[in-house]
Amino acid sequence: MNMRFEGRSVLVTGAAGGIGLAAAEGFAREGAWVMLADRDGDRVHAAATQIRSWGGQASAVTVDISNYDSVAAMVDATVAETGALHIAFNNAGIPATMSGDFENLDLDEWHRLISTNLSGAFYCMRAEVPALKASGGTAIVNTASIQALVASPGMPGYIASKHGVAGLTKAAALDLIPFGIRVNAVCPGFIETPMLAPLVADPGTRAFIEGKAPIGRLGAAAEVADAVLYLASDSASYVVGALFSVDGGVAVL
């Protein structure tokens, strides 16, 4: 087993399930100590317990990334456990819950998407940077989306929030590379996680979504996690400010 993250302290948000949990498991398998963070306290503590059950090093904290004080407490809790923060995977996010054209777009939905997906990513990076600098930290990976690269009709809030994450990733990459901290984003396509589950439960919708990907199937959370681990590892030492698609070719179309 490759142990790329031995001795590294890694923070993962949105780690109760889906892509975040797959990445947290991957980091732990490769030797990292991992702090799993999520707003779903029960599930994220259970996930950390599960990782410890097979010998991984993990702890958990409940966080609401749309609240700066909560995010700062998450980073403090991470540093309190190991004295360091070397790598952060800012992955927590929410989907659009309704579609609509511009004049009918629900304003609460807009604010929810921006405050979680965009401000949440900013709050995390802002709170993490001093700890990363103090620890000789090396990498931040954000979860954007193919919706950070292209757009689809009827979901302007989600698309704006994820394009914002892409811009924030590029801005942070430039500001932090002088400190040896590489910032990149992963851009997942249609990935089979709890977020997509309600959509793909219907066989017709599932076939429709599968047909949108040139590869002809949905992705697995572990396939995105592999890319995240690469971007966070020293193997990606010359990768800075990249928007890295893991989408079965969707964004190529």
Ligand X SMILES: NC(=O)c1ccc[n+]([C@@H]2O[C@H](COP(=O)([O-])OP(=O)(O)OC[C@H]3O[C@@H](n4cnc5c(N)ncnc54)[C@H](O)[C@@H]3O)[C@@H](O)[C@H]2O)c1
Judged by the rule CB under 6 A, the positions of this chain that interact with ligand X are 13-14, 16-20, 38-40, 63-66, 91-94, 116, 120, 143, 145, 188, 190-191, 193-196
* CA angle, 134 then 4 then 8, to 5°: 25
Smallest distance from ligand X to CB 77, Å: 14
Closest CB to ligand X among residues 31, 115: 115
Smallest distance from ligand X to CB 60, Å: 12
- In order of 96, 113, 157, 167, 196, the CA distances from 199 in angstroms are 12, 18, 18, 28, 5
By CB neighbour count within 10 A (0-12 exposed, 13-18 middle, 19+ buried), where does 195 fall? middle
Closest CB to ligand X among residues 18, 56: 18
Smallest distance from ligand X to CB 74, Å: 9
Smallest distance from ligand X to CB 187, Å: 7
* Catalytic residue flag (residue 123): no
- In order of 7, 138, 189, the CA distances from 217 in angstroms are 36, 34, 11
From 123, 158, 230, 238, the catalytic residue: 158
Question: Cα–Cα distance between 88 and 141 in angstroms, integer?
Answer: 6
Which of 117, 143, 118, 139 has its CA nearest to residue 129? 139
Question: Given its phi and psi angles, is residue 216 left (phi above 0), alpha (psi -120 to 50 degrees) or beta?
Answer: left
Question: Which residues are designated catalytic?
Answer: 158
